[in-house]
Structures are given as C-alpha cells and as structure tokens.
Amino acid sequence: MDAVATPEHDELYRLDKRTHELLIASAPLMAQWAESECKPKVVGGMEEWAKKHKHEEVHTDEGCGWYHSTWQYLRLLNMVAVPPWYKFYNRALSGILRKKPNARVLISACADWGMLATLHEAIETAGAKPHVMIYDICRTPLLACQWYAERHGLDIDCVCDNILTSPKMPLHSFDLIVTDEFLTVLKAEYKPQILTRWNELLAPGGSVVTTAMLGGPTNQALRDNYAARARQRLGEHAEDFRQMAADPADIVSRFERFAQLHNRHMLKDEAEIRTLFSDFYLGFMSLTPTPGECVNPTDSFQIVAAVPHTGRP
C-alpha cells in the first residue's frame, strides 16, 4: 500500500494510505462521541492516574474525554502506540485463526478501531469467520469499532464494562484474546489481575496475543517534550487537519492536555513479563523497537501465550 510519511520515525513505522483515509474520516467523529460517551468511572479508565496525580487539572466528575477525543488526531502524527507498529500481529493472529476459523475472539479493551482493523487483516489472511467480542470500560472506542465494522461488513458484539470485574463475561470460552499495550495502561496492582482474568476467560488451549512496552516513569520533561513534538508535527500535517476542518488552536490545546494527563505504566524488563505470564505457556516473546509515546523511542515485547489444552495451571 502507499504510505504517508511521518518524519521522525519513518524507519520504524509509516502510516499506510488506507489507515490514513480512515483516520481522516473517523477522528472528528471520535471527538464528537467523546463529548457525550466518556463518562467518569468509580474505578479504572484512562482518567484514573490523572485524577490522583493531576487532580488540580482534572475535575472529580471528569471522564476520559481528553484521551479519546485526541487519540486519533495523534495517530495521524504517529505519536501514540498502535497495533500497526508490530508486524508480528498478522502472523500470530492468522496462524491461530487458520487452526480454528470459527474461533471466539475477545478484544480486551481498545483505544479505537485500531486493534479491530489489525484483527480484520488477520481474518482475511486466514480466510476465517470468527465470533468477535469487544469489551471496554468506555463506550467511545466501542462506537469507533462499530463504525469500522459497519464500513467493512464485520459482525461484532460490543460490551461496555470493566473487564477486570464484569460478571457478564463467559468464563473459559474464548479461543483467542488480543489487545495492544493493555498491560501498560494498567497500573502495577492491576497487571497480575488481568493475567488471572485472561486465564479465566480462555478456553483450554486458548491464546493471548499482545504487546508490552518497556520504560521508566513519564516525568514532566518528557511530557513537555511530547507536547512540543505534537505542536511541531501538527504544522507538518496541516493539510490533514484542514481536511477535517479542525481548529488548530483547539487541536493544540487537546495535545497539550493529553501530554499532561496521559500515563503509561511501563514494564520494567523481561523478568517482569515472565513473572506475569507464569501460568501461561510463552510460545513467542520477541523484543522490537517502537516509536514510543512520551518515552520516545522505546522497545516493546511482542507476546503470544497460551493456557494448557487440558487442566488449568
């Protein structure tokens, strides 16, 4: 496919023409949906860290609108972690789907339709017809997934609930769970909980396919640098934003707020990942460079892990 260059990290990732066109169409929609659908949560959500550590900048009744309304605009600048950074996804997902074309697949949280699009590519590669379910704590990314699915003739089921605590989720029923960088969204105490949850949700022999970035805490200097890079790249991509009829001052304000409130709970090293996945069989784990977000660039592990075919660990 034709590519749209992103100046600083061309060697790591180039936004393809099809994805670029989809983002131009959907980014303004996500900004609209976020205004009404990004509700405050009692626990969890992208706003949880900000409410504790940036309480002077975040209202107690504020949700994740600052995150979801800005995410796809930043995708156009290649400044947020997305599944296309990782070439292993198609090979890993299509390999599993070839073996089980009618697999029950769970997308375990998402920022937008990016993970669904990557799964869609693997479905086409494998010639599969899986049942796809998407869970997220916010309705905005689910609306984005429904938008993508309608455009591409995909049947999906979306549920807005907390994956860690939802009583609705069918246990031991999914053949495949896929999620991009969810481990770095969750703070330290939640990471073992999601591994336990995935184990509970997977059928015998089922697999998790995911990624996990390495790095330290995001300090203020990194946040300020991220905002400055976003402002610079906005100028380099001015035509895209004109096409979306976006107000440059509003976009800059969104970028600056995102830089101050967004936080990744990065993984420390390979040992931490192996400990988290100790109840799984790690069939594949490979370190790869990525453009990174505030920590820029950084490395990330590509992971395929499975539960045993018989019995539970």
| pLDDT tens digit sequence for 181-213 | 999 999 999 999 999 999 999 999 999 999 999
Q: What is the pLDDT of residue 11?
A: 62
Lowest-confidence pick of 5-14, 20-29, 52-61, 199-208: 5-14
pLDDT band at residue 55, thresholds of 50, 70 and 90?
low
pLDDT band at residue 1, thresholds of 50, 70 and 90?
very low
Residue partners of 74: CB distance under 8 A and separation at least 6: 80, 230, 255, 258
pLDDT band at residue 14, thresholds of 50, 70 and 90?
confident
Q: Mean pLDDT for the chain?
A: 92
| pLDDT tens digit sequence for 210-234 | 999 999 999 999 999 999 999 999 9
Say if strands 174-179 and 104-108 run parallel, antiparallel, or are unpaired: parallel
The CA distance from 157 to 137, in Å, is 14
Tokens of 155: 């049947």
Identity of the residue numbered 167: P
Q: What is the pLDDT of residue 60?
A: 59
Lowest-confidence pick of 1-15, 36-50, 71-85: 1-15
The CA distance from 203 to 75, in Å, is 34
Tokens of 164: 């860690």
Q: What is the pLDDT of residue 52?
A: 77
Question: Is pLDDT at 4 greater than 50 in this prediction?
Answer: no
Q: What is the pLDDT of residue 296?
A: 83
Q: What is the pLDDT of residue 61?
A: 62
The CA distance from 49 to 54, in Å, is 8
Contact 104, 131 (CB under 8 A): yes
The CA distance from 245 to 170, in Å, is 43
pTM (2 d.p.): 0.94
